[in-house]
Amino acid sequence: MFFKQPNGIIFAIKLETEIVQKSIYKNNFRFMKILICISKTPDTTSKIAFTDNNSKFSTDGVQWIINPYDEWYALVRAIEIKEADPSTILHLINVGGVESEPIIRKALALGGEEAIRVNSDVADSYFVASQIAQIAKEGNYDLIFTGKETIDYNGSSIGGMIAECLDIPFISHAVKFDIVNGNAVVVREIEGGEEIDSAPFPLVVSCQKGMAEQRIPNMKGIMGSRTKPLKVVEPVEISALTSVVSFDLPPAKAGVKLISADHPEELVRLLNEEAKAI
Amino acid sequence: MSVLIFIDIAEGKIKKASYEAASYGAAIAQQLGASANAIVLGKSDELLSLGNYGISKVYNLSNESLHHFDAQVFTKLIADANETIGADIFVFSNTTTGKSIAPRLSVRLKAGLVSGAVALPDTSNGFVVKKSVFSGKAFAHIAINSANKIIALNPNSFSVVKTEGVAEIIDLNLSIPAGKVAVQSVNKIIGDVPLSEADIVVSGGRGLKGPENWGIVTDLAKLLGAATACSRPVSDIHWRPHHEHVGQTGLAIAPNLYIAIGISGAIQHLAGVNRSKTIVVINKDPEAPFFKAADYGIVGDAFEVVPKMIDAIKKLKESV
């Protein structure tokens, strides 16, 4: 096994397997252990419809994808960290039923050594975060990446919840992430600007556009993903705090009112008098 | 039973989204016959103004070190303060700050969280909050089943209600735990309206042909006191900074008025703007999909239409 010291010198050492399993960052040696949270969401172009008296999302004809924030930004940035330092360990985690496995395999085709699936339906964000926190605690991860939100529930809450469960820092809306002198340096988006934070490991970071560029898995990755370990674990007992009562769709727009290009002043009049928007 | 509203401040100023949260929290309190109080972490001389938004008591911890934000520290302080305040409903605005604290507080207090709320809770049968889902394409009604409850309200979805009222300011005496996150710098685009809080947004797309042509967008925005935004391709090719990108993978906004100039309206773009109250589309191509999602549209050359609009708005402003 190769280790890298903070000063960048790499040396070889023989270790017992159980020690290798643990992150030993705290002993000033490090190989970074990263857990990337992967969620299954409907493709962005999916038709949004509901069944069972509007209490369930209609999955008819829905194409499932890895939540784009999890894939394009969290996972790809983690892969880049591993490319810069091959001793890094990347694990993926998903809370979901067996139907999540195709998107987990797709994520493994991009990168990561193994995946863990917590075998359960998604009850609410508190339930999901508690499951992930349990695995994170057992696996002693240095860094947990999530997307900034899922594109279906738009909760933005899993990362913060995991961090609180583990009592570690959480930095949200990261657009840039680097490791400098053993600390995380994160540029995060805030309203009307950016903030640069630094924090020690372990920590949780939620990722968004800017962190990395979207990648397409190559054939080697796809072939390799089939044999990577996908561990299935049963959930710990957690009671959800919220439940979905129903869904509804916004009222349809009345249709566009077209105004002649010769008379933009008419648009201005309508915006002022009819829409009362200016 | 009482409602506690987290008020976010920047350089001592209360943010607009926090006034909305205050009004919203006060309305919930009224609905339940409870009191609405606020908590402010940091120094501000605007605290008394919260009385005009239905707030009875403002709990304040005025300390310089809170100028720098650390979600872990803020969460602990709110939880510690609440041991004496005793609130069971907590309201945040669903901004980057709210999104960092509310989930942590949810775990700490075992309080069910609904983030992205767009309306007052329905308390006729349980406690059900309407929230935006599927990037604005639908709404979900979520029941919070725990005794403690947290709501993070989407900006621009609840109108500020001004009342006559006086707030009592109560200084909190709490020890501030050492934070692990060090804020090295904050870089704000001074003077501009933050996109997420803007009432009016003027947005440009590839139809504008190049960054040198953005004058008509910024002129119109300046005239309307609007924020500027752009489509994904425009930020990808660096015509505009990426923080202006609205859409599925950019910022999701819900202004009162969204004016899209030279944007075709791909479904990913619509996902970020479809909660806007009024949408205006100006595009040369009559087949642009954006017209289907618009309230008003002009099929025409933006370089001719927008300057004429600017003249008309100037005349309108002079006549008022």
Residues 138-157 of A with CB under 8 A from B: 151-157
Interface contact B104-A172, CB threshold 8 A? no
Nearest residue of A to residue B229, measured between CA atoms: A192
CA nearest to A163, candidates B181, B230, B90: B181
> Tens of pLDDT along A261-277?
999 999 999 999 999 89
Q: Min CA distance, B77 vs chain A (Å)?
A: 14
**Cα→Cα distances A169→A79, A155, A172, A201, A250, Å:** 22, 19, 10, 8, 37
Contacts of A168 in chain B (CB under 8 A): 72, 180
Q: How far is A166 from chain B (nearest CA, A)?
A: 10
Predicted pLDDT at B156:
87
Give the best residue of A126, A241, A268 to mutate against chain B (max B CB count within 10 A). A241
* CB–CB contact B267 A267 (8 Å): no
Average pLDDT over every residue of B143-158:
96
Report the 3 state secondary structure along chain A: CEEECCCCCEEECCCCHHHHCCCCHHHCCECCEEEEECCEEECCCCCCCEECCCCEECCCCCCEEECHHHHHHHHHHHHHHHHHCCCCEEEEEEEECHHHHHHHHHHHHHCCCEEEEEECCCCCHHHHHHHHHHHHHHHCCCEEEEECCCCCCCCCCHHHHHHHHHCCCEEEEEEEEEEECCEEEEEEEECCEEEEEEECCCEEEEECCCCCCCCCCCHHHHHHHCCCCEEEECCCCCCCCEEEEEEECCCCCCCCEEECCCCHHHHHHHHHHCCCCC
The predicted pLDDT at position A193 comes to 84
| Cβ-defined contact of B141 to A68 (cutoff 8 Å) | no
The shortest CB-CB distance from B293 to any of A44, A125, A253 is to A253
Residue B283 has pLDDT above 50, yes or no: yes
Structure confidence at residue B197 (pLDDT): 83
B67 chain-A contacts, CB cut-off 8 A:
none
Looking at the DSSP assignment, which residues form a beta bridge with residue A253?
none
In angstroms, the separation between the Cα of residue B22 and the nearest Cα of chain A is 19
CB within 8 Å of chain A, chain B residues 195-224: 195-197, 200, 224
pLDDT of the residue at A4:
55
- Find the radius of gyration of the CA atoms of chain A: 22
- Smallest CA–CA distance, residue B273 to chain A, in Å, is 13
Burial classification of residue B166, based on how many CB atoms lie within 10 Å of its CB (0-12 exposed, 13-18 middle, 19 or more buried): exposed
Nearest CA in chain A to B148: A241
**Contact present, B12 and B66 (Cβ < 8 Å):** no
User: Mutation test of the interface with chain A: which of B95, B146, B159, B180, choosing the one with the most A Cβ atoms within 10 A?
Assistant: B180
Q: Is B95 on the interface with A (CB under 8 A)?
A: yes
Model pLDDT, residue A30 = 59
Residue A7 has pLDDT above 70, yes or no: no
Residues B55-114 have pLDDT tens digits of 999 999 999 889 889 999 999 999 999 999 999 999 999 999 999 999 999 999 999 999
**Strands (E) located in chain B:** 2-7, 9-10, 13-14, 35-41, 57-61, 89-93, 112-117, 128-133, 138-144, 149-153, 168-171, 182-188, 200-204, 227-230, 257-261, 278-283, 296-299
Tokens of B96: 């980057």
| The predicted structure's pLDDT at residue B103 | 98
Contact at 8 Å (CB) between B264 and B290? Answer: yes
Instruction: Compute the nearest-CA separation of B307 from chain A (Å).
Output: 9
Residue A165 sits at φ, ψ, to 5 deg, of -60, -35
Chain position carrying tokens 């009307």 = A192
Percent of chain B's residues with pLDDT above 70: 98
A20: pLDDT strictly greater than 60: no
Q: Do B139 and A250 touch (CB under 8 A)?
A: yes
pLDDT, tens digit, for every residue of A26-59?
Answer: 444 558 999 999 999 999 888 899 999 999 999 9
User: Which residues of chain B have a CB within 8 Å of the CB of A194?
Assistant: 186-187, 243
Residue of chain A whose Cα is closest to the Cα of B227: A192
- Residue A194 CA to residue A187 CA, distance in Å, equals 7
Tell whether the model's pLDDT for residue B301 goes beyond 80: yes
Set of chain A residues whose Cβ sits within 8 Å of the Cβ of B102: 157, 160
Give, as one character, the DSSP assignment of residue B179. P
Which amino acid is present at B64?
A: E
A74: nearest Cα among A100, A103, A37, A41: A37
For chains A and B, what is the number of CB pairs under 8 angstroms?
283
High-pLDDT (> 90) share of chain B, %:
85
Complex confidence, ipTM: 0.87
Please tell me the distance in Å from A94's CA to the nearest CA on chain B. Answer: 19
Arithmetic mean of pLDDT, A87-99:
97
Does residue A21 register a pLDDT over 80? no
Task: Show the domains of chain B with their CATH numbers.
Answer: 2-171 (3.40.50.620), 195-319 (3.40.50.1220)
Q: Which of A75, A104, A40, A76 is nearest to A232 (CA)?
A: A104
* Neighboring chain A residues of B195 at a CB cutoff of 8 Å: 191-192
pLDDT of A243 reads 97
Over residues A117-137, the pLDDT tens digits come to 999 999 999 999 999 999 999
The pLDDT value given to residue A64: 96
Query: Residue A235 burial by CB count (10 A; 0-12/13-18/19+): exposed, middle or buried?
Result: middle
Q: Which residues pair with A259 in a beta bridge?
A: B298
- The verdict on B276 touching A (C-beta cutoff 8 Å) is no
> pLDDT for A167-210, tens place per residue?
999 999 999 999 999 999 999 998 878 999 999 999 999 999 88
Q: Which residues of B touch A247 (CB under 8 A)?
A: 133, 138-141
pLDDT of residue A165: 98
Domain ranges of chain A: 32-251
CATH number for the region A32-251 comes to 3.40.50.620
Q: Residue A181 corresponds to which tokens in the numbers above?
A: 């002198």
Q: Which two tokens stand for residue B298?
A: 């002009």
Q: Do B146 and A249 touch (CB under 8 A)?
A: no
Return the SS3 of B282. Answer: strand
Which residues from chain B sit within 8 angstroms of residue A68, using beta carbons?
A: 248-249
Per-chain mean pLDDT for chain B: 94
Average pLDDT (B16-43) is 97
B182 closest CB neighbour out of A68, A198, A242: A198
B113 contacts in A (CB within 8 Å)?
125-126, 155, 157, 241-242
Contact of A198 with chain B, judged by CB distance below 8 Å, is answered with yes
B91: phi then psi, degrees, rounded to nearest 5: -120, 130
CA angle A123, B88, B141 (to 5 degrees): 40
Tokens of B272: 């970020």
| Mean of pLDDT over chain A | 90
Q: Retrieve residue A128's tokens.
A: 């999901």
- Contact call for B137 and A242, based on CB within 8 A: no
